[in-house]
Chains A and B, each alone.
Chain A
């Protein structure tokens, strides 16, 4: 059974320098922490061991979420709890910031072993980020607590609300750092503007991230009374959260795979060339990312690009080679309208339908600066579709240059200059850097 290799990531660059920098920083932090811990091991070895084990177990039940994000909610919550641990059944804990980093690092590595053995190596940037943010939180909180001698350590039981407030602030700060670093890595990898990446990463954190942070704080607080029993009591709700998220993530992946599959109906039916819609989708995504579109908009863009030729099914005879570039403007608009109509009937993809409907429209008309009714996504698809109709899966540089030139000639009405500029940059970049996929 031969089918075209998945082309989803083919316009996406490989891991960039961002990952390397973040990983190097985390490595320095871990080496320094481990050497400090080894010089003078923490006095409460059982607590350290217990939390290390808990982090490792959390890492074992790691999950993968949409948007290429990976997360180990239980492991992360355990790390937060160890950062924020004050009194443990009435006895002040004495571990220091570097001990937290050491325990987190060792626990995470041990927990990653089964995954590596199964050939699913964890994302380096994700691990590095977690160590850095845990390190930051520990560097703030541990000195303030200072084995029960610091300002937070001397608070009585009546002031637990203040302790909780400080914990929320510390975890919040560390999560901000996490989002900032994640956005840095992503902006570098996807060649996207930093602010757009930061927006998406922060949004991804708000849901599951807040549940993780809250669980860490709760365990640390409840350990005052419940000691180690605080862990199972508060991990159960978090596991429920994790389960919910995984199921949500799975259905979204399934949705995505299904749209990809069904978008091939035009190919199987002989209406378009093999791989056309997948290539248009991945090129559109690359352009959209670089133009700073957010995750949700990118998803709509991708679905619209995958299904942009659906309207051709209503044609009695396929267009030769399926290239919509070769038919009249009226026909192009009609195909777009028919496709949009089908998509609108789903009742749930209205945004996608609008994009598909406008895919044949010009971005401006005479004497008008820009037609605001044509969505950016439609402009991107129009250009990407034209590019793919002209180039296809060919790798010849002459065809690439020819196609870009033709898009540039069409910039007065057909193709949005901003889109064409970015598209030219994307295809140039990939002509130099080998594509992965």
Chain B
């Protein structure tokens, strides 16, 4: 705590003190102990299980946070503000002791307590105005309690970030509320269901009521973990494939990055952006079917050798055909060497007949190839590569994608530093990179 500014320390102490006072007041108000204890235990169990599963990535902290809300609301319905406050205070026990510094834990606990107390008070106050209003009044009370919980919670968080780290308060506040409000509402209604289950049969049905959600969250965490594992695996295996050829090391990853930049610049939907990221990583796996001696051949390629290279998009598409979800990415992989003027391969598609993914990958691919070192030339600078892309705009590349790449580069600088590490044997003569648009293959005439 010593590294925090004085005002932040004062603020945190005040929040913790206020929470302690509220807890004492709530204890003196003598709520229904059975309700308080049961829901407090549930809260602790929920928080514990939520932080205990999976590795900690961004989203999971906020999910853990939500779980105090339903129990708080249920306690407010069943036994008023005092019960809500005490159940909220139980949230203090949530984080595993080792994970967070004590100050943070105490402040989190205070945050839970204060939000819960405010929500409980709002619920009760509105209840006195809407006495005997039936189910509609109850829904209104719950919604109000949710809104108050959400605002107080976000306010406390914003203030601490502002005082401790100087984060802009307005942005943090609106951001937090916008992110959490819809989820809070759903969890608030769950609170109503929990209260009803308690009325029907006490703790057992209440626990059963939480079970499906616990299971859902478990599955969600598993999903998140599996997805991370999946991405790590693809990246590593592709790198292993690239080991065969020093010059293309890291190429797939960078093509993926550049493809995503272009996709974002043309405003592509997020699911498709994910798909093109995979397509970018996997676009050259078919090269494995090209004999190494051809890939590393110096000088002019024979007709047969060039044909072998030209098969790589088809081979890649074939190899990956079992992966159902790739779907649109297949097209991108198969056609990433098509040209707008129809002189590309494997099909010789023209203009808009070339799938969008392929038009994007073509630009990203060429761009990375030009800005990387090749044995027959040094890496070009980014402006040089952009000039080259613009020269081939409309003949080889889709002008829309070239412009998008240029726009994206203006916003996000290209960080790849092309330089071969020392001690690596550079093959004698020229190894030809088939992705390089500035290199003219030995036999374009024979192709037409």
Interface check A233, CB cutoff 8 A: yes
Interface check A22, CB cutoff 8 A: no
Given known contacts A164-B208, A261-B320, A245 and B219 CB-to-CB distance under 8 angstroms: yes
Please determine whether B212 and A221 come into contact, CB atoms closer than 8 angstroms. no
- Which of chain B's residues has its CB closest to A233's CB? B193
- Closest 8 CB pairs between A and B? A160-B201, A244-B219, A348-B229, A241-B216, A211-B212, A214-B211, A211-B215, A248-B223
Q: Mark B162-202, 1 if CB is under 8 A from A, else 0.
A: 00000000000000000000000000001001001100111
Measured between beta carbons, the chain B residues less than 8 angstroms from A346 are 229, 232-233, 235-237
Distance, CA A358 to CA B256, complexed state (A):
34
Please determine whether B223 and A208 come into contact, CB atoms closer than 8 angstroms. no
Q: Mark B287-331, 1 if CB is under 8 A from A, else 0.
A: 011011000000000000000000000110111111111000000
Please determine whether B322 and A214 come into contact, CB atoms closer than 8 angstroms. no
- Which of chain A's residues has its CB closest to B235's CB? A346
* A-B residue pairs in contact (CB < 8 Å), sample of 24: A6-B322, A161-B201, A161-B204, A161-B205, A168-B208, A207-B218, A214-B212, A215-B212, A237-B190, A238-B212, A245-B216, A247-B219, A247-B223, A250-B325, A254-B325, A257-B325, A264-B319, A265-B237, A265-B241, A270-B291, A310-B240, A346-B232, A346-B236, A348-B233
Interface residues of B (CB under 8 A from A): 190, 193, 196-197, 200-205, 208-209, 211-213, 215-220, 222-223, 226-230, 232-241, 243-244, 285-286, 288-289, 291-292, 314-315, 317-325
- Which of chain B's residues has its CB closest to A341's CB? B240
Distance, CA A234 to CA B193, complexed state (A):
9
Contact of A237 among B216, B222, B324 (CB under 8 A): B216
- A171 to B: closest C-beta gap in Å: 10
Measured between beta carbons, the chain A residues less than 8 angstroms from B218 are 207
Distance, CA A259 to CA B221, complexed state (A):
22
Q: Is the interface of B mostly helix, strand, loop or mixed?
A: helix
Interface check A49, CB cutoff 8 A: no
Contact of B205 among A160, A241, A262, A345 (CB under 8 A): A160
Please determine whether A241 and B213 come into contact, CB atoms closer than 8 angstroms. yes
Contact of B208 among A217, A243, A314, A342 (CB under 8 A): A217
- B346 to A: closest C-beta gap in Å: 12
Interface check A326, CB cutoff 8 A: no
Given known contacts A224-B200, A250-B325, A240 and B216 CB-to-CB distance under 8 angstroms: yes
Please determine whether B318 and A3 come into contact, CB atoms closer than 8 angstroms. yes
Distance, CA A251 to CA B220, complexed state (A):
11
Interface check A258, CB cutoff 8 A: yes
Please determine whether A348 and B215 come into contact, CB atoms closer than 8 angstroms. no
Interface check A163, CB cutoff 8 A: yes
Distance, CA A342 to CA B234, complexed state (A):
11
Chain A: interface size category: 35 or more
Interface check A119, CB cutoff 8 A: no
- Which of chain B's residues has its CB closest to A269's CB? B288
Distance, CA A417 to CA B197, complexed state (A):
58
- Which of chain B's residues has its CB closest to A216's CB? B208
Distance, CA A347 to CA B235, complexed state (A):
11
Measured between beta carbons, the chain B residues less than 8 angstroms from A207 are 215, 218-219
- A268 to B: closest C-beta gap in Å: 4
Please determine whether A257 and B323 come into contact, CB atoms closer than 8 angstroms. yes
Measured between beta carbons, the chain B residues less than 8 angstroms from A260 are 322
Measured between beta carbons, the chain B residues less than 8 angstroms from A238 are 212
Distance, CA A251 to CA B235, complexed state (A):
16
Please determine whether A221 and B197 come into contact, CB atoms closer than 8 angstroms. yes
Contact of B204 among A1, A3, A164, A258 (CB under 8 A): A164
Distance, CA A262 to CA B239, complexed state (A):
12
- A13 to B: closest C-beta gap in Å: 23
Please determine whether B204 and A342 come into contact, CB atoms closer than 8 angstroms. no
Contact of A211 among B205, B211, B234, B318 (CB under 8 A): B211
Q: A261-B321, A346-B229 provided; 16 other pairs, C-beta below 8 A?
A: A164-B204, A211-B215, A241-B215, A247-B220, A248-B222, A251-B223, A251-B230, A257-B324, A260-B322, A262-B285, A268-B315, A270-B291, A313-B244, A346-B232, A349-B229, A349-B233
Measured between beta carbons, the chain A residues less than 8 angstroms from B320 are 261
Contact of A244 among B223, B229, B239 (CB under 8 A): B223
Measured between beta carbons, the chain B residues less than 8 angstroms from A258 are 230, 233-234, 323
- A234 to B: closest C-beta gap in Å: 7
Q: Mark A424-437, 1 if CB is under 8 A from B, else 0.
A: 00000000000000
Distance, CA A258 to CA B234, complexed state (A):
8
Within 8 A of B (CB), among A342-378: 342-343, 345-349
Measured between beta carbons, the chain B residues less than 8 angstroms from A270 are 289, 291
Given known contacts A164-B204, A225-B196, A262 and B237 CB-to-CB distance under 8 angstroms: yes
Within 8 A of B (CB), among A122-154: none
Which of B197, B237, B289, B317: most chain A CB closer than 10 A? Answer: B237
Measured between beta carbons, the chain B residues less than 8 angstroms from A262 are 234, 237-238, 285, 319
Contact of A222 among B196, B291, B315 (CB under 8 A): B196
Measured between beta carbons, the chain B residues less than 8 angstroms from A313 are 240-241, 243-244
Please determine whether B226 and A261 come into contact, CB atoms closer than 8 angstroms. no
Given known contacts A210-B211, A258-B323, A268-B315, A160 and B223 CB-to-CB distance under 8 angstroms: no
Given known contacts A163-B201, A257-B324, A262-B237, A240 and B213 CB-to-CB distance under 8 angstroms: yes
Interface check A165, CB cutoff 8 A: yes
Measured between beta carbons, the chain A residues less than 8 angstroms from B217 are 244
Distance, CA A163 to CA B222, complexed state (A):
34
Measured between beta carbons, the chain B residues less than 8 angstroms from A343 are 236
Measured between beta carbons, the chain A residues less than 8 angstroms from B197 are 218, 221-222
- A310 to B: closest C-beta gap in Å: 7
Measured between beta carbons, the chain B residues less than 8 angstroms from A165 are 204
Measured between beta carbons, the chain B residues less than 8 angstroms from A251 are 223, 226-227, 230
Please determine whether B211 and A348 come into contact, CB atoms closer than 8 angstroms. no
- A87 to B: closest C-beta gap in Å: 11
Interface check A252, CB cutoff 8 A: yes
